[in-house]
Amino acid sequence: MDKSEESGDYFVSMTDMMVGVLFVFIIIVSYFVLELQKSLDKVAKKEEVVLLSTHEKIVKDFELEVITLEEIEKEQADVIDEQVIEIDENTVVIDEQAVVIEEKIVVIDQQQISINKKKVVITQLEEEIAKLRRNSWQIYAAAANNKRSEIIQAISAVLAKEGIKFKADPKIGVIRLEGDGLFNTGSSNLKAKKGAVNRIQILAKALYKNLECYSLHKEDESLQLPKDFNSCNPEHVFIEAVYVEGHSDSDGFTGKLRDGSRNNLELSARRATNTYAQMTLAQYLLPAIVNPLGQQALSTAAYGAQRPVVENINDFNKSLNRRIDLRFVMYLPESEDARLKLQREVEKLL
């Protein structure tokens, strides 16, 4: 065998050997691949089992959560249903209360209308009361004025019965005694004129008798009402003052008169004070007569020739101006409130 054949056989042998080695290698690789595949399958199976277990756990947990959520939802739904029922009930109550409130509003509106009407009535009544108060004061003032006229007329009746010369004017509240019946010319002495003292005594007694029921009486610094006050003075009117006023004519004189007078004003003043003194001597209770202010009612005033009743043009007219006037002033409260206050004070004394 030549070298070429040997070379070819050697190549063939090597090839066969290589193929065999390759085959063996493939078998070994296949085996390892197979084993690897088995290992991978086992791992995959294990992972699959783990995954499946995990999945199942997750599913179970999820199912539990779903069940829990459903239970919570159901509970919440029940709560919501209860709340809805409660809300519905509250709504019914609110609606009922709203109806009651509306009814009350209607009542309140009606009451407000009634109140407004009553306010109008109250305003009218207040106006009527104010009017009545004004009227009450006016009625009181009219009663006092009428009573003054009655007092003057009663005293005038006594003087007329006794034959004493006088003039009376109930409208202005004056009883006028002519001076010639009381004093001599230029004199203030009552005793110097025949019958003058007696005339003043009669006047004093008539005055006290007719003033007693229309005055307060001061005894030991306390004020008293006459015993039959309500029956003799139902209107509860009072005298405020009785002024013994002295007047003279216009004839002047020089020097001093016997009584010390230096002019007609002083002469008229002495005539007034002497008349006052004789009156209180004749009726000692006259100074105890006081007005509601606690002031003595009987007082004096002097005017000289300042207030003539006629012109001093002749002796007759001058004799008329020489006179003593008794001026009666009734007590008039300054307002209705003052009158009511006086009434309360009177009631305390009754």
Residue 176: the pLDDT is 95
Residue 26: the pLDDT is 83
Alpha helix (H) residue ranges in 212-311: 229-232, 264-282
Alpha helix (H) residue ranges in 162-193: none
* Tens digits of pLDDT across the chain (350 residues): 555 555 656 666 777 777 787 788 788 878 777 777 777 777 767 776 777 777 777 777 777 877 887 788 788 778 888 888 888 888 888 888 888 888 888 888 888 888 888 888 877 776 665 555 456 888 999 999 999 999 999 999 999 999 999 999 999 999 999 777 888 888 899 999 999 999 999 999 999 999 999 999 988 878 899 888 999 999 999 999 999 999 998 888 888 988 899 999 999 999 999 999 999 999 999 999 999 999 999 999 999 999 999 999 998 898 889 899 999 999 999 988 989 999 999 898 88
Residue 129: the pLDDT is 57
CB 196 within 8 A of CB 183: yes
Centroid of chain to Cα 185: 65
- The span from the CA of 279 to the CA of 314, in Å, is 31
Residue 197: the pLDDT is 95
Domain ranges for the chain, please list them: 134-349
| 134-349 CATH fold | 60s Ribosomal Protein L30; Chain: A; (3.30.1330)
- Answering whether pTM is above 0.75, one says no
Q: Which two tokens stand for residue 268?
A: 């008229």
CB 269 within 8 A of CB 302: yes
Could you tell me the strand order of the sheet in which 222-224 lies?
222-224, 216-219, 289-290
Sign of the C-alpha dihedral computed for residues 153, 154, 159 and 162 taken in this order: positive
Contacts 24+ apart (CB under 8 A), 118-124: none
Residue 91: the pLDDT is 82
CB 251 within 8 A of CB 318: yes
- The span from the CA of 260 to the CA of 267, in Å, is 8
- Mapped onto helix, strand or coil, the DSSP state of residue 218 is strand
Helical axes 196-211 vs 3-161, angle rounded to 10°: 150
Helical axes 264-282 vs 196-211, angle rounded to 10°: 60
